[in-house]
Amino acid sequence: MNILIVEDEPHIEKLLVSCVRDAAPSAQVYTTGKSSEALEIAQTHDIKLFILDIQLTDYKGTELARQLREIQRYAYTPIIFATALANEELNSYREIKCYSFLIKPFTKAEVLQVLRDALTYLQHLAGGERQKPETITIEQKSHILEYPLKEIVYVESFGKHLELHVKSTGGGLRSDRISGLSLKKISDLLGNHSFVQCHKSYIINTSYITRIDKSEGTVELAGADQLIPIGHKYRHGLTNRGSQ
């Protein structure tokens, strides 16, 4: 489990980290005091719980929270605000779907209680997710398309539209054209560890990798007729998945 703490006061950050270590010893904890850096961490890693200070050095934690909510996989991820603001001001932040608040100055016992509540909630949520296949839903004019993530082999970008290359019942791949969706947006929708962007125009499902040719800069996917190019800036993310 990845937990991100965004707090610019060192002594409070230390307390929060200590509490996370006590409540979730196996968690990977990321820390920063800047909203901009927090957003980068959230885009790079799959964060399961956010602890955000509201008053940060570059811009407010509430604005950061709104940015996080715009990323599909974080639409309902628990966010805990750490704040010294008065109660009447806290009401306005409920629109962000904040999970809980820590009112400064808070004690270690208070932090632990909120953390344990949030972790219990995440355990129940994970249990529910295991009972149904992971899917993404895409709206196209009068149609709503649903795709199981495990059946998406790769995504290809063509200017203002995408093509999803998906396993078909016959054993090959079918290609569905999707309009009005950028590669970045589909990446947010996928929000899954199996998917990696390997080129400015391609996202691949790493579960289907059969061969990586570093000298040619290509990757072969099971069922795909074409080799997928690997962009220079994306090579590092694939180097530990195979070589030729």
pLDDT digits (tens, 9 = 90+) for 95-123: 677 778 788 888 999 899 889 888 888 88
Q: Are residues 121 and 143 in the same domain?
A: no
pLDDT over 60 (residue 131): no
pLDDT over 60 (residue 239): no
Which of these ranges, 40-44, 56-60, 145-149, 170-174, has the smallest mean pLDDT? 170-174
Q: How many domains does the chain divide into?
A: 2
For residue 50, what pLDDT is reported? Answer: 96
Higher pLDDT, 80 or 124: 80
The Cα 173–Cα 152 span in angstroms is: 9
Q: Are residues 35 and 114 in the same domain?
A: yes
* Residue 142 pLDDT grade (very low, low, confident, very high; cuts 50, 70, 90): low
Q: Are residues 112 and 160 in the same domain?
A: no
Q: Are residues 27 and 78 in the same domain?
A: yes
Task: Give the contacts of 130 (CB within 8 A, at least 6 positions apart).
Answer: none
Which residue, 84, 111, 130, sits at the end of a domain?
130
Q: Are 163 and 155 in contact (CB under 8 A)?
A: yes
Q: Are residues 11 and 120 in the same domain?
A: yes
Q: Are residues 25 and 121 in the same domain?
A: yes
Torsion of CA 81, 57, 49, 196, to 10 degrees: 150
Q: Are 35 and 66 in contact (CB under 8 A)?
A: no
* Residue 242 pLDDT grade (very low, low, confident, very high; cuts 50, 70, 90): very low
- pLDDT, one tens digit per residue, over 15-62 is 999 999 999 999 999 999 999 999 999 999 999 999 999 888 898 888
Average pLDDT, the chain: 84
Average the pLDDT over 147-174 and give the result: 88
Q: Are residues 115 and 141 in the same domain?
A: no
The model carries a pTM of 0.53
Q: Are residues 145 and 118 in the same domain?
A: no
* Residue 243 pLDDT grade (very low, low, confident, very high; cuts 50, 70, 90): very low
Backbone dihedral region for residue 180 (phi beyond 0: left; psi -120 to 50: alpha; all else: beta): left
Q: Are residues 7 and 121 in the same domain?
A: yes
* Residue 6 pLDDT grade (very low, low, confident, very high; cuts 50, 70, 90): very high
- Structural domain of 59: 2-130
Q: Are residues 23 and 112 in the same domain?
A: yes
Q: Domain with 95 in it: what CATH number?
A: 3.40.50.2300
For residue 193, what pLDDT is reported? Answer: 62
Q: Domain with 237 in it: what CATH number?
A: 2.40.50.1020
